[in-house]
């Protein structure tokens, strides 16, 4: 991604988010605000193997004083969508991070591969906010885990 100028320090995840924002129009960042909630940068890692489950990550911010709870999620691209923690609590005037070592949304029975820089719709269902439709960005595994990248024989 060396052709992309001045990505702010170390935030590699900002690259696909920025590309998405350009596609969607300059006023729109990759976050979804619905009622008292803001869903920031839903993403997952690209897959070539539909037999592998896919973890979906995001930050859920709650501007309201009362807590909310993510009860379930659904998407047409997976046969099954599970929350790793049953339901995921979102504290009042706080946020929860769905991340690798935390609560996650897990998709299985994938109906298609997820190539990098693709995106797919995911519906989140909250106790108070109700249904929130978000776009999940598919991130390039090589960018996320450069140590595991195969050595390249040719330069570029």
* Residues near Cu ion (CB under 5 A): 17, 30, 41, 137
Task: Using alpha carbons, select from 44, 31, 55, 37 the residue that is nearest to residue 103.
Answer: 55
Closer to Cu ion at the Cβ: 102 or 117? Answer: 117
Contact 88, 116 (CB under 8 A): no
**Closest CB 20 distance from Cu ion, rounded Å:** 6
Q: How many CB atoms lie within 10 A of CB 121?
A: 13
**Closest CB 133 distance from Cu ion, rounded Å:** 15
**Closest CB 79 distance from Cu ion, rounded Å:** 25
Q: Would you give the end-to-end CA distance of the chain in angstroms?
A: 11
Query: Cα–Cα distances in Å, from 100 out to 16, 38, 43, 105?
Result: 19, 20, 11, 10
Quick one: tokens of 85?
């923690």
Closer to Cu ion at the Cβ: 127 or 135? Answer: 135
Closer to Cu ion at the Cβ: 36 or 41? Answer: 41
**Closest CB 41 distance from Cu ion, rounded Å:** 3
Closer to Cu ion at the Cβ: 30 or 36? Answer: 30
The SS3 assignment for 38 reads strand
């Amino acid at each position: 991604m060396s052709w992309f100028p001045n990505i702010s320090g170390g935030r590699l995840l900002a690259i696909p988010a920025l590309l998405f924002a350009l596609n969607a129009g300059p006023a729109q960042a990759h976050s979804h605000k619905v009622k008292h909630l803001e869903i920031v940068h839903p993403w997952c890692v690209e897959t070539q193997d539909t037999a592998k489950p896919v973890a979906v990550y995001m930050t859920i911010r709650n501007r309201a004083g009362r807590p909310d709870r993510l009860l379930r999620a659904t998407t047409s691209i997976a046969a099954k969508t599970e929350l790793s923690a049953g339901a995921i609590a979102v504290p009042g005037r706080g946020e929860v991070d769905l991340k690798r070592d935390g609560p996650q949304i897990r998709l299985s029975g994938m109906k298609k591969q997820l190539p990098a820089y693709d995106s797919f719709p995911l519906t989140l269902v909250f106790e108070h906010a109700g249904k929130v439709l978000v776009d999940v960005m598919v991130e390039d595994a090589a960018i996320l885990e450069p140590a595991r990248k195969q050595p390249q024989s040719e330069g570029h």
